[in-house]
Amino acid sequence: MWVRIPCTSATRDKGTSTHQELSAKTLHPGTVLGDLTLLGRVRSGTKGCYNVRRRWRVRCTCGNILTIPQHYLVRNPHPRRNCGKCKATLKTKFRREYRIWTMMRRRCTNPTHVAYKYYGGRGIKVCDEWMSFESGFDEFIEHIGPAPSEDHSVDRIDVNGDYEPGNVKWATALEQAKNTRQYLRKHSKFKYPIGQPPEGTE
């Protein structure tokens, strides 16, 4: 017999179901909790507290089968309602790159950001397709790809240009230090104000 525990969008995403609905007594093979279907109990382990030792084998709607402690299924708030993997997005897959993208946008748009005067204050912008909160990061990571290592961060090829396709790359701190306005001016055979290269030298 298949039994579905009432689960609205609120209970699935935010875990606001009542404890009575999620009581351990209501759980048995075939019970459906959000995207999870209980397949059967798993022999209790010997480590951890009692609530964690009692576990269930479950199947997610994406086909993934895993073992979850019973406590995670009935806890209130935020009960477990999916395997986690099927809900993954580019933002969760590339967490560090997402933070870099977020800070890239902030230093170009937020006057209170500590580095705004070096970016947005100089007129440096993020292109419209990367500024979108809904799809900007997806477009950004599709263009530049994942960072080669944790030592790499986003850098502009042309230090006076915007964050836009064709003008960004992953670079280490040393590589970025050699691509600053001060460094380029110091090591250039031409002497000109920062940000104002003479005609014909670009």
Q: Are residues 94 and 172 both part of a single domain?
A: yes
Tokens of residue 125, six digits: 């912008």
Q: Are residues 105 and 152 both part of a single domain?
A: yes
The candidate with the shortest Cα–Cα distance to 123, out of 57, 200, 185, 195, is 195
- Residue 43 is predicted with a pLDDT of 77
Binned average pLDDT, 10 residues per bin, the chain of 202 residues: 44 39 76 93 70 85 90 87 82 91 96 94 95 93 94 92 95 83 57 43 33
> Structural domain tally of the chain?
2
Q: Are residues 95 and 155 both part of a single domain?
A: yes
- Is 63 inside a domain boundary? yes
Question: For the stretch 87-101, what's the b/e string if a residue is b when 16 or more beta carbons lie within 10 angstroms of its beta carbon?
Answer: eeeeeeebeebbebb
The candidate with the shortest Cα–Cα distance to 151, out of 104, 100, 197, is 100
- For residue 65, the enclosing domain spans 9-74
- Is 200 inside a domain boundary? no
- Is 25 inside a domain boundary? yes
Please give the helix or strand (H or E) that residue 93 lies within, else none: helix 90-93
Q: Are 32 and 5 in contact, with CB atoms under 8 Å apart? A: yes
